Amino acid sequence: MTRFVPTCVFALACATSMMGVCASSRADEKPKHTIKEIMKEHKKGALKDKVLEGTASADEKKKLVELYTELGKSKPPKGSEENWKKLSDALVKAAKEVADGRDSGIDDLKKAVNCGACHSAHKAS
């Protein structure tokens, strides 16, 4: 118990410096998920399908918006930054429409989730 106070002070200093690290990495907008991780939600019956079929919960719809937002912050293995931004922005926009309950969302999302178009431009073979 005698060591409690010094340990506590140390932990506090450590936590404060870690907060500094967090703040600076947020400025870089480093994505939490890799592109490959996000692609798992494109598998048959995964999150993207649930959203398109209308079986996703409100939270799941929001999750898809978050994942696509992160996708846009990632750097694809190939292709232009400009085209990547265009394609990922379209995904974010459509996923948001669905999350907001707009009818046009599902159609827009179907169009935006064009696996082949994006892979041929941005996925290294």
Residue 85 in the binding site for ligand HEC (CB under 6 A): no
Contact 124, 78 (CB under 8 A): yes
Q: Who's near 38: CB < 8 A, 6+ residues apart?
A: 67, 68, 70, 71, 74
| Window 12-41: residues binding ligand HEC (CB under 6 A) | 35-36, 39
Interface segment toward ligand HEC; rule CB under 6 A; list 20-28, 52-60, 94-102, 110-118: 110-118
Residue 42 in the binding site for ligand HEC (CB under 6 A): yes
Among 47, 51, 87, 92, binds ligand HEC (CB under 6 A): 87
Of 25 and 114, which has the nearer Cβ to ligand HEC?
Answer: 114
- For residue 8, the minimal CB distance to ligand HEC (Å) is 43
Centre a 10 Å sphere on the Cβ of residue 2 and count the other Cβ atoms it contains. Answer: 5
Spatial separation of the C-alpha atoms in residues 1 and 22, rounded to whole Å: 31
Residue 120 in the binding site for ligand HEC (CB under 6 A): no
